[in-house]
Amino acid sequence: MTESAGAGRDAESVSKFVESFAAQLVEAGMQRMAARVFAALLASDKGVLTSAELGEQLQISPAAVSGAVRYLSQTHMVSREREPGSRRERYRVHGDQWYEALTNREAVLKRWEGALREGVTSLGADTPAGRRLAETLAFFEFIEGEIAAMMERWRAHREKTFGQG
């Protein structure tokens, strides 16, 4: 039995959850293999699996695992680490992965805001397109402020509910 199933857990039930949750992530826009790898890591007791364990559990190639992990690392949803005393890598999902993924979107929002500001200037603030871009810019600025405030509330709620993370 792989670690992902865990002692005393039904491997079929774990697999069913992984595929079901992965399908929801795919529907929301995540790449299919990345969604499956992420769900498998999330469902593992330790939150850590090697490439071989992921490949075995999901019946996918090492190349598929590698591509999925690359995407998940770039989006800050998993991290890579070396197994102690080994050259093998293992992949870890953290309890705060959603927080990290969401707050790391700030850089993306900043880039979009910069491009929209340039667009408003280029198109003219008094043109229909310029006004539309200005409204889009205002929306992203609003969202950015709301995310920051929401993340503060989440940290307080998480500490109250789960203790120090």
Mean pLDDT score of the chain = 88
Contacts of 101 (CB under 8 A, 6+ apart): 75, 76, 77
Residue 156 confidence class, pLDDT cut points 50, 70, 90: very high
Q: Which residues pair with 82 in a beta bridge?
A: 89
> Tens of pLDDT along 6-62?
556 788 999 999 999 999 999 989 999 999 999 999 999 999 999 999 999 999 999
Task: Spell out where the chain has E strands.
Answer: 48-50, 79-82, 89-92
CB 43 within 8 A of CB 14: yes
Q: At what angle do helices 32-43 and 62-74 cross, to 10 degrees?
A: 80
CB 34 within 8 A of CB 68: yes
22-36, 95-109, 131-145: lowest mean pLDDT where?
95-109
Amino acid at 27: E
CB 54 within 8 A of CB 40: yes
pTM of the model: 0.73
Q: What is the CA radius of gyration of the chain?
A: 20
